[in-house]
A and B are shown apart, each in its own frame.
Chain A
Amino acid sequence: MAAVQGGPVDAVEEKDIKTEPSNDGCGSNSTNDGRAASASPGSGAPAAGAKPAAAAPEDQQTLLAVLQFLKKNKLTESVDILRREAGLPEDSLDLKGADSSAAGSGGDLGAADASSLLSRVTASSSAVVQAPTKAAGEDQPDVNVVLSAYSQQGDPKLYPVYYNGLKRFIESVLDCHRAELSQVFYPLFVHMYLELVYNNYESEAKAFFEKFRGDQECYYEDDLRILSSLSKREHMRGNETLLDFRTSKFVLRISRDSYQLLKRHLQERQNNQIWNIIQEHLYIDIFDGMPRSKSQIDAMSGSLAGEAKREANKAKVYYGLLKEPEIELPLDDEDEEAENEEGKPKKKKPKKDSVGSKSKKQDPNAPQQTRIPLPELKDSDKLDKIMYMKEATKRIRLGPENLPSICFYSFLNAYQGLTAVDFTDDSSLIAGGFADSTVRVWSVTPKKLRKVKSAADLNLIDKESDDVLERIMDEKTASELKILYGHSGPVYGISFSPDRNYLLSSSEDGTVRLWSLQTFTCLVGYKGHNYPVWDTHFSPHGYYFVSGGHDRVARLWATDHYQPLRIFSGHLADVTCTRFHPNSNYVATGSSDRTIRLWDVLNGSCVRIFTGHKGPIHALAFSPNGKFLASGATDSRVLLWDIGHGLMIGELKGHTDSIYSLRFSRDGEILASGSMDNTVRLWNATKAFDDLETDDFTAATGHVHLQDNSQELLLGTYMSKSTPVINLHFTRRNLLLAAGSYNP
C-alpha cells in the first residue's frame, strides 16, 4: 500500500499552502478555515501561515476596522501585534482598506461606491466601541464584529415601507427585468429582519417577518423557519445559519440593465437603507447581455448563499481520464488461451487493439499522469485489471432499447438501521453500515469470507510451500458474513478500496476507520472531524480517500497518514456526500448548503461551485468519462453538470422523494437513480448529454436554458416493495445491483 513515498506528498503540501492565498474564489473561507487549520497541525505549516489565506476581503475589512479603532484609542502596541499577526504591511491601514473593500463589493461599482464602503468601515469600527471589552473576551470575537454591522440603522418602523416600496417598484418594471430584480427580495428580507432583531425591535421584526415571508420562494422555507425562531439579539450569537448569512455575501447574478434600473430607483428615492444592505451584504455579479428569464434564474438559485460567482467556475479542470497502465503481455496470452478453450479465438484480437490504441492516445483534457502521486500497481492489481478487461468484453451494451437487469439486495430485519451500503467494484462483496455502530460485510459469491489465521497458527504453516497464500487463510471460521465492531456511533459512510483489501467506514463518533478485509480487524482510526462524518469515499486508484462531515469541511487522507493531507473548506453547512473523480485529481462534495463543490486534490482549491439544488445533496456520481457529474438531493431531482464548462446541463424530474444513490453504467449510457420513494429509475444519459447546446454564449455566461425533457429521458421506473434504495452499482458486465433495507 505504501507505494507513495512521503517525500512527494510533503512537497505538494508546501506548494498547497503557498498557492492558497491566491485562490479566494470561494470567498468564504472565514471562520471554518481557521478552525480547521488549527485542528490539524500536521497538514503542513501551522496556523500562522494559514491565516492570511483565511482572511477573505470582508474579514480584512473588519480587521482594518479594529486596527483603526485601536489606533484611535492610542493602543499602538496592540496595533503592532495585530498587524503582525494578520500579516498586514505598515501602510495597509489606509491604502489597502480602500482596495480590498472595492474588491469585496464587486469591482465595478466605481469610485463613489468605494468611498461609501470606506465610510462603512469606519462606521462599523464605531460599532465596536459599543462593546469593546466584550469583543476581546469572547472565544469567537469575530461574531460580535460580524453582528455589529447591523447596529446603526434608521427607523425600524420604516422597514416595511422601504420593502414595500421596492416591491412595488419591482412589480412595475418591465417583465424582463422583474424576474432578475426579484432575486433581491430574499436576501433583503433576511437582512432587514436580522437588523431589526439585532437592534431589539422584536415586535417590529415579527410583524415584518409575517408580512413578507409569503413573498419568498418556497425553497427557502427551511431557512426561513430557522430565522423565524430568532427573535432576540442574544439568539443571534451561536446561530450557525445566521452566521452563514453574514459571513458569506449572498451572490446574485443580474444583468447590467436591470442593475442600473435598480440603482437609479434607489438613488432617486434616497433609499439609503436598502442601498446599504445591498452594498454590505449582497454580492451582485453583473453581466452584460440579455436579462435572464424566471426559469433560468430558478434553475440556478436555491442555495444557502445564492448562486456561484461566475469567476468561481472559471478555473481549468482537467476532467480527462488518466492513461491506463500498460498491461503485461504474458498475462494477456493466458487470457487468450482461456478464450481459446471456449472456442472463440477470433474475438480477442480486435479488443486488444482497441485497448492498445486507447491507452496510447493522450486526452488533451487529462491531467498530467503524475499530477498527483498515485500508488504503483501491484501484481494483484494487474491481475484484477486483466479480470476487469475480460469482463468488459462480455459487457452488455446498454441503451434505451436495451435496459439493464436489476438485482435488488434487500436487507431484511435491519429495523431501519441500515445507513450505508457499498459494493466492491467486482461485485463480490457487499458491505452495510448500521445504526448500531456495526459494519457488516457479506460475500455475495459462493466464495466465503476467510480471514488470515492467528499469529500462533501462522507459525505452524510451511512458508515455503507454493500455496502459502491459501494456507494462511483460516478455513474454519470462513463465513458469508463478517461483522466489524469498533465504531461508537451509527456508521454513515462506507467504501471499499479498489483492490478489495480494505474497507472504510465513517461514523457519528467523528472517526473514519480503515478495516482490513484480510484479517477483518480495524487498522487505523482517522481522527480529525470532531463531529459526525457523513460520508467517505476511496479514490479509484486506492491509497487516498476523502471524508466529509458535520464540521463543514471535507478532508483528503492517505491511508498511511493519520492526519489529513488536505482540508477542503468552503461549504456553509454539513458536507453530506463525497466522491472522487475517476482520475483521482478532483473531489466532489455535496452539502446541505445545497451546493456542490469540486476541489482540486493538488492544491486544495475549490474549482467549481454548482448551485441549483433546492435541498441538501445526498448523491453524486461522475460519468465514466469524467466529463459530467450527476447530483441528487432531497428536492427529489437529479441535476447534471458539465464539469469542463462549469454548467448545469440537465434536470431529471420524476422521483417523488429524496434521492440517495446515483450511478452511471460502465459505458456511461444509462444513469440509474435510487430514491426514498422506493424506486429505481433509469435515465438516458447519452441523450441527456448529446442534446446539449454548448454555444459560446452559454458557456461564457453560464445561462443555460434547460428543456423539460425528463419524461423523454426516463427509460424505466422500477418500484420496490417499501424498500428505499440506498445504493446502486453496475457490475463490470453492466448488471445493475441495488440495495436497501426492507421496511415492513
Chain B
Amino acid sequence: MAEERRQKQCSVSLPTESMKAMAESVGVGQLQEESCAALSEEVSYRIKEIAQPLYGFQSQEFIPFRFASGGGRELHFYEEKEVDLSDIINTPLPRVPLDVSLKAHWLSIDGVQPSIPENPPPAPKEQQKVESTEPLKIVKPGQEDDGTIQGKTQGATAADGKGKEKGLIRLKPRSTHELSVEQQLYYKEITEACVGSCEAKRAEALQSIATDPGLYQMLPRFSTFISEGVRVNVVQNNLALLIYLMRMVKALMDNPTLYLEKYLHELIPAVVTCIVSKQLCLRPDVDNHWALRDFAARLMAQSCKTFSTTTNNIQSRITKTFTKSWLDEKTQWTTRYGCIAGLSELGPDVIKTLILPRLTIEGARIKGVVEGQVVSNIDKIGADHVQSLLLKHCASVIAKIRPQPDLAEQYRTDYGYLGPMLCSHVMKARTQAALQAQQVNRTTLTITQPRPTLTVSQSGFSGSGGPRTPSIIKVPSSLTLMTPRPGTPSQPSPPATKYIVMATSAGAASTQQVITLSSSQSATPVTSTVPSATSTLQPLVKLESGGGPGLTGSRPLQKYIVVSLPSSASSSLETKSSVLPTSISSNPLEAAMKLDRSESPGASTQSPH
C-alpha cells in the first residue's frame, strides 16, 4: 500500500490536457501534443521543486477545490461565492485581533509539575479510563510512562523519590488514594465553599471543579461527599444544600479532564433522588423545588448522553425507573413531575413514544385535581406544575410531528383535557421556530466573514473549553429560587450568546456594588474569564458609572450595561445592537428589586428573546 503510493509520487505529472487548457487561457491555441508533453514534464518538475519542500507530499488539511464532472470532462475548481457588496458594507467590522501578550505560569516547581489549568491534565482521561476498566494493565511492567506520570503528580509521594521511581514497577493499591496535604486542604476548602453560605466562594469553587485538571485523585472523595450529602439532606428536606450538591455534580461533569464512569454508581442515585423524591423541601407549597427537579433531570439527561453504553444501559434503566413510578396510580404529584421531567429531558424521541400516548390519561388526572373540590393546596400546585411541564415539552415535539392546521377541537379529541392548551402552545412553538429559522439564516450569512477565533483561544487557555462556558452561566438561571415559574430559561434562545449583566450605582459605592453583584451571580463569567486575560478582555466589559454631578442624591441611579460575550463573533455583533437599548432602559427601581430577589438577574428578564 505504502509502496504503491510512493510510486505514484515519483511519477505523477500534470496531464497534457491541462497544459492545453492553460495555454488557451493565455491565448495560445493549437499547442502541439509533443510540446504539451515536454511542457508538462518541465512544469511538473518545477512544481515539485518549489512546492514540495513547502507543502510536503500529502496535504493533511482540507484542499479548497471542488470537483465537478459532466459532458465527459472532469473539473476541479476553486469556488468563489458571489457576495453582495451591500452585505459586506453593512456587516459590522470584525473585532480587531487581540494583541500578543505574555503570561507566565509554573511548568514545574522543584521538579514536580503543579496541577493548574495552565498545565495539561496530569493523568489524561484515557489513562483514567484504562485504570478503571483494566486495572491489571497498569501494574504490568514496561509501562514506565504511566508510572512516571502518576508518580510525578502524586505531589507529596513523588517528592521523596523523584528520580528513582522510573525503573521500579509501581504496584498501585486500587482502593486507597492518598492525598497530599495540599490536596487535602484543597478538598476541604472546596467542599466547604460549595455548601457554604458565601455565593462568591461557591462560584469560585464550582469554577475550580469544572476546570481544574488535577482533580482525578480527589474524585472518589467528591463522589462520596455528594452521595452522602444528598442522602442526608433529602431526609432533612434541605433544599438549598441539595441544589448546591447538584451544582457540584454539574461542575464535575463539565470538567473535561475527569473520567466519571467509575463513580456513576454513586452519582446517579443521588441525582435521581433529587428528581423524584417525594419531598425535597420543608414547605412544598412555597419553595421552588421544581427548579431543582428540572435541573437534576437535565443533569440526568446529560449523563445518559455521555455515559450510556450498551453494557451499562444507563439510559434504558433510567427510563424504566421513571416510567414505572409514573405509571403507578399512587405516585405523588411531586414524583410524577420528576418522572415526567426526567423523561422529557431525554429527548424528543422519548417524549414521542412515552409521554404523548399518556397525555389523555394525565390530562384527566390533572382535570380531576383542578376541577375537583376536596384536594389539598399542595396537590393543586403539583398538578399545575405537571400541566405546564407537559405543555412545555410536548408542544415542541407535536409541532414537529403533527401537520398543520392546529385546531383546538381536533386536539381535544386527540389529547383530551390538555388538548386546547396544547394547541395554543403548539402554535406558539411553530411561530417561534419560524422566527428562529430566520435568525439562523441571518447569522449564516454573516459567517462569510473571516471568523476570528480569538475568544476560543483565551477561554481555552483559562481551562474552560469552548462549549462548556455557556452552561456555567445558565446554571443559576434555572435555579432561581423565588421566581414563581422557571419558564424562561428553557425557552429556545440562540445558544451562542451569553450576557453578563453588571450594575453600577452612583457615588462612592459604585465599585463595591459591582463586586457584590458580579459575585452574587453564581459562576459569573467575570470571574471565569477575566483573571486569565485581564488586559485582553477589558474592552468588552464596559463599566459605566451613571452618577452625573446632578444625580447624586438619596436615590442612587443604577445602570445596567449588558455586554454580550459571544462564543463566535458573528452572532454577537448582531444581537448586541438589539440588546443595548432595551437593557439600559431598565429603571432603578426594577434593578434594585432584582438585586434583592434573584441570583441571576440576567436570564429571566433581560433576555431579549
* Interface status of B111 (Cβ within 8 A of chain A): yes
Q: Is the CB of A404 within 8 A of B166?
A: no
B101 within 8 A of A: yes
Contact A409 B100 (CB under 8 A): no
* B453 neighbours in A (Cβ, 8 Å): 744
A475–chain B nearest beta-carbon distance, Å: 21
B460 sits at the interface (CB 8 A): yes
Residues of A within 8 A of B57 (CB): 225
Are A720 and B454 within 8 A (Cβ)? no
The yes or no answer to B263 lying at the interface (CB within 8 A) is no
| A718 in contact with B10 given A229-B48, A411-B100, A413-B458 (CB within 8 Å) | no
Q: Point out the residue from B10, B41, B107, B460 that lies within 8 Å of A408, measured CB to CB.
A: B107
A430 CA to B45 CA in the complex, in Å? 44
- Give chain A nearest CB distance to B123 CB in angstroms: 12
B606–chain A nearest beta-carbon distance, Å: 30
Q: State whether B107 touches A407 (Cβ < 8 A).
A: yes
- Give B466-495 as 1s and 0s: 1 = Cβ < 8 Å from A's Cβ atoms: 000000000000000000000000000000
Instruction: Say if the beta carbon of A232 comes within 8 Å of chain B.
Output: yes
A413-B108 in contact (CB<8A): no
Contact with B along A696-722 (1 / 0, CB 8 A): 000000000000000100111111110
Question: Contact: B111 with A716, CB < 8 Å?
Answer: yes
Q: Provide the bound-state CA to CA distance between A406 and B106, in Å.
A: 6
Chain B residue total in the interface (Cβ 8 A): 45
Cβ of A415 within 8 Å of any chain B Cβ, yes or no, is: yes
| Candidates B48, B119, B144, B458; contact of A412 at CB < 8 Å | B458
Closest to A238 in B: B49
In this assembly, does A432 line the interface, its C-beta being within 8 Å of a C-beta of chain B? yes
* A-contact bits for B233-244, CB 8 A (1 contact / 0 none): 000000000000
User: Among A234, A412, A682, A738, which residue has its beta carbon within 8 angstroms of that of B102?
Assistant: A412
Q: A409-B102, A442-B102, A444-B104 are in contact. Are A719 and B120 (CB under 8 A)?
A: yes
Contact A206/B101 with A405-B108, A413-B458 known, Cβ cut-off 8 Å: no
* Also in contact, A434 and B100, with CB within 8 A (given A225-B52, A721-B118, A744-B456): yes
B5 interfacial contact with A, CB 8 Å = no
Please indicate the chain A residues that have their CB under 8 angstroms from the CB of B119 in the complex.
719-721
> A235 to B45, Cβ gap below 8 A?
yes
What residues of chain B lie closer than 8 Å to A209, measured between beta carbons?
10
- Assembled-state Cα–Cα distance A434/B166 (Å): 39
- C-beta contact mask, B104-128 vs A, less than 8 Å → 1, else 0? 1111111101000011100000000
A-B CB contacts (within 8 Å), total count? 132
Task: Using CB atoms, name the residue of chain B closest to A684.
Answer: B163
B536 touches which of A229, A413, A742 (Cβ 8 Å): A413
Using a CB-CB cutoff of 8 Å, which residues 345-381 of chain A contact chain B? Answer: none
Determine whether the beta carbon of A410 is less than 8 Å from that of B99. Answer: no
Q: Which residue of B lies closest to A403 (CB)?
A: B111
Please, which residues of chain A bring their CB within 8 A of the CB of B101?
Answer: 411-413
List CB contacts (< 8 Å) of B426-462 with chain A.
Answer: 453-454, 456-458, 460-461
Report if A228 contacts B (CB, 8 A).
yes
A406–B11 alpha-carbon span in the complex (Å)? 50
On whether the beta carbons of A401 and B162 are closer than 8 Å, the reply is yes
Smallest CB gap from A228: residue in B? B10
Residues of the A chain whose Cβ atoms lie less than 8 Å from the Cβ of B162: 400-401, 403, 715-716
Which residue on B lies nearest to A408, using beta carbons?
B107
Q: Quick one: closest A residue to B114, CB to CB? A: A405
A414 at the interface (CB under 8 A from B): yes
Query: A400-B163, A414-B100 known; A720 and B45 CB under 8 Å?
Result: no
Residues of A contacting B109 in the complex (Cβ-Cβ under 8 angstroms) = 405
User: Which residues of chain B are near A53, meaning CB under 8 Å?
Assistant: none
**Is B504 among interface residues, defined by CB-CB distance under 8 A?**
no
Minimum CB distance partner of A744 in chain B: B457
Asked whether A210 is an interface residue with its Cβ less than 8 Å from the other chain, the reply is yes
Closest beta carbon of chain A to B240's beta carbon, Å = 37
Given the interface pairs A405-B109, A721-B120, the reply to whether A744 lies near B461 with Cβ below 8 Å is: yes
User: Does A440 touch B at the CB level, under 8 Å?
Assistant: yes
**Distance in angstroms between the alpha carbons of A289 and B213 in the assembled complex:** 58
Bound complex: CA A338 to CA B10 (Å): 71
Closest chain B residue to A235, Cβ basis = B45
Return A692 CB to nearest CB of chain B, in Å: 20
Enumerate chain B residues within 8 angstroms of A742, measured Cβ to Cβ.
Answer: 457, 461
Cα A235 to Cα B41 with chains together (Å): 10
Q: Which residue of chain B is the closest to A407 with respect to CB atoms? A: B104
Residues in A with CB closer than 8 Å to B105 are 407-408, 410
Chain B residues within an 8 Å CB radius of A414: 100
Question: CB-nearest residue of chain B relative to A400?
Answer: B163
Indicate which residue in B99, B107, B152 contacts A413 across the interface (CB closer than 8 Å).
B99
A403-B98 in contact given A206-B11, A412-B458, A744-B461 (Cβ < 8 Å): no
Q: Complex: how many Å from CA A403 to CA B120?
A: 20
Give A212-255 interface residues, CB cut-off 8 Å to B: 225, 228-232, 234-235, 239
Q: Give chain B interface residues in 366-403, CB to chain A under 8 Å.
A: none
Q: Complex: how many Å from CA A673 to CA B352?
A: 60
Contacts of A413 in B (CB 8 A): 97-101, 454, 457-458, 536
Query: Is A680 interfacial (CB 8 A cutoff)?
Result: yes
User: Does chain A have a CB within 8 A of B7?
Assistant: yes
Contacts known (A434-B100, A440-B100, A720-B120); A680 close to B10, Cβ less than 8 A = no
A117–B533 alpha-carbon span in the complex (Å)? 71
Asked if B9 is at the interface (CB within 8 A of a chain A CB), the reply is: yes
Q: How far is the CA of A418 from the CA of B101 in the complex (A)?
A: 11
Could you tell me if B52 and A229 are in contact, using CB atoms closer than 8 angstroms? yes
Instruction: Kindly list chain B residues whose C-beta atoms are within 8 Å of the C-beta of A408.
Output: 104-107, 118
Instruction: Tell me which residues across on chain A come within 8 A of B144, comparing CB atoms.
Output: 711
A229 to chain B: closest residue by CB = B48
Q: Collect the chain A residues with CB atoms within 8 Å of residue B7's CB.
A: 210
Q: Decide if B542 is an interface residue (CB 8 Å cutoff).
A: no
Given contacts A228-B10, A413-B536, A717-B148, contact A406 B100 (CB under 8 A): no
**A406-B107, A415-B97 known, 8 other contacts, Cβ within 8 Å:** A210-B10, A406-B108, A407-B105, A408-B104, A680-B107, A714-B166, A718-B107, A719-B119
Q: List 19 A-B contacts (CB under 8 A).
A: A230-B45, A231-B45, A232-B41, A401-B163, A405-B111, A410-B103, A410-B104, A412-B533, A413-B98, A413-B100, A413-B458, A413-B536, A680-B108, A716-B162, A718-B108, A719-B113, A721-B118, A721-B120, A736-B108
